């Protein structure tokens, strides 16, 4: 049964004229009906199991956050997929942010800093956030190291391999430290940020990788927008800070550069061109 048949079976009262299917994400197939409703279908069992938690966590957090987030209002009877009203806006790619005028860019900074501050300081005890597990970075690191050893020697130069190893070793060092553990989105990057020009409002999508972890991880892929932007968000951020916060965020961003290379071979969702572009960017430094 395809996704449209599953929607019709789960919600027989629902009618639509147009549907589009989005498969570019890593872990979900997304179906958008009439540019009004979004249904997310987890593709792996861990994401199916965590869907009810995601729905509950977002319903709990939404009133406390200064940004728009998905508010699921339809969950399949078997819990295998769920839907929410479409959030308006365009994907906040670096070129989109760069083209905004100064007041709009300032609004993005303020709202993003407010979102991260609110999320990272949200009380856990006695709330749906108690259901969050520690982030999977240790397991991910083991998988990336194995994939790097299997695939990267054939496609990287000796110096590039040495740089990749240094990036992975830096994460090994972080994993050996005692770091803060707060609620984190764990996948804050341009494809999960929407900017609504008309309302001057930011939306944050895809909380399926949410967990308890180092708050610096949610700043990692903000480096895609440049150091001035990262520092501006950090300056307005009122969550847990320490002297090594931004340095750790850069270490995590470098790790993403290696991860993207290995994902190209192991999963295939990342094109080699995009993976290579990300790795080359972090190699160039800040």
Specify the pLDDT at position 197. 97
Specify the pLDDT at position 25. 65
Specify the pLDDT at position 246. 98
Give me 131's structure tokens. Answer: 């259901």
Q: Which helix (H) or strand (E) is 205 found in, with range?
A: none
Specify the pLDDT at position 284. 94
State pTM to two decimals.
0.94
pLDDT digit string, tens, across residues 165-187: 999 999 999 999 999 999 999 99
**What homologous superfamily does CATH list for 90-284?**
Aminoglycoside phosphotransferase (APH), C-terminal lobe (3.90.1200.10)
* Blockwise average pLDDT, block size 10, the chain, 286 residues: 92 96 82 97 89 96 97 96 97 98 98 98 97 94 97 97 98 94 96 97 96 98 97 98 97 97 88 94 92
Specify the pLDDT at position 91. 97
Specify the pLDDT at position 1. 59
* Numbered ranges of CATH 3.90.1200.10 in the chain: 90-284
**What homologous superfamily does CATH list for 3-85?**
Phosphorylase Kinase; domain 1 (3.30.200.20)
Specify the pLDDT at position 44. 86
Specify the pLDDT at position 286. 84
List the alpha helices (DSSP H) in the chain.
Answer: 3-10, 45-61, 94-99, 102-120, 137-151, 158-175, 227-236, 245-266, 272-284
Distance from the first to the final alpha carbon of the chain? 48
Task: For residues 104 and 150, give the distance between their C-alpha atoms in angstroms, rounded to a whole number.
Answer: 45
Specify the pLDDT at position 45. 87
- Calculate helix-pair angle for 245-266, 158-175, nearest 10 degrees: 120
At 210, give phi and psi (nearest 5°). -60, 145
Specify the pLDDT at position 24. 72
* Numbered ranges of CATH 3.30.200.20 in the chain: 3-85
Q: Quick one: how far is CA 95 from the chain centroid? A: 19
């Amino acid at each position: 049964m395809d996704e449209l048949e599953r929607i019709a079976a789960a919600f027989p009262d629902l009618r639509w004229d147009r549907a589009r299917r989005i498969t570019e994400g890593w872990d979900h197939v997304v179906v958008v009906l009439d540019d009004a409703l979004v249904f997310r279908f987890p593709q792996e069992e861990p994401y199916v199991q965590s869907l009810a938690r995601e729905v509950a966590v977002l319903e709990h957090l939404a009133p406390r956050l200064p940004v728009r987030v998905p508010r699921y209002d339809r969950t399949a009877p078997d819990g295998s997929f769920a839907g929410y009203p479409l959030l308006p806006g365009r994907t906040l790619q670096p070129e989109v942010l760069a083209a905004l005028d100064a007041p709009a860019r300032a609004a993005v900074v303020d709202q993003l800093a407010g979102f991260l501050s609110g999320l990272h300081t949200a009380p856990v005890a006695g709330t749906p956030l108690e259901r969050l597990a520690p982030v999977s970075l240790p397991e991910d690191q083991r998988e990336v190291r194995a994939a790097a050893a299997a695939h990267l020697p054939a496609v990287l130069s000796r110096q590039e391999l040495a740089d990749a190893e240094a990036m992975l070793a830096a994460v090994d060092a972080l994993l050996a430290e005692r770091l803060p553990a707060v609620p984190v989105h764990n996948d804050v990057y341009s494809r999960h940020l929407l900017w609504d020009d008309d309302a001057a409002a930011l939306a944050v999508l895809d909380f399926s990788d949410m967990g308890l972890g180092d708050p610096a991880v949610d700043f990692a892929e903000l480096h895609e927008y440049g150091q001035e932007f990262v520092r501006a968000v950090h300056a307005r951020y009122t969550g847990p800070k320490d002297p090594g916060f931004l340095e750790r965020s850069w270490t995590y961003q470098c790790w993403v550069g290696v991860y993207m290379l290995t994902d190209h071979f192991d999963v295939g969702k990342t094109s080699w061109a995009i993976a290579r572009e990300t790795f080359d960017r972090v190699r160039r430094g800040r």
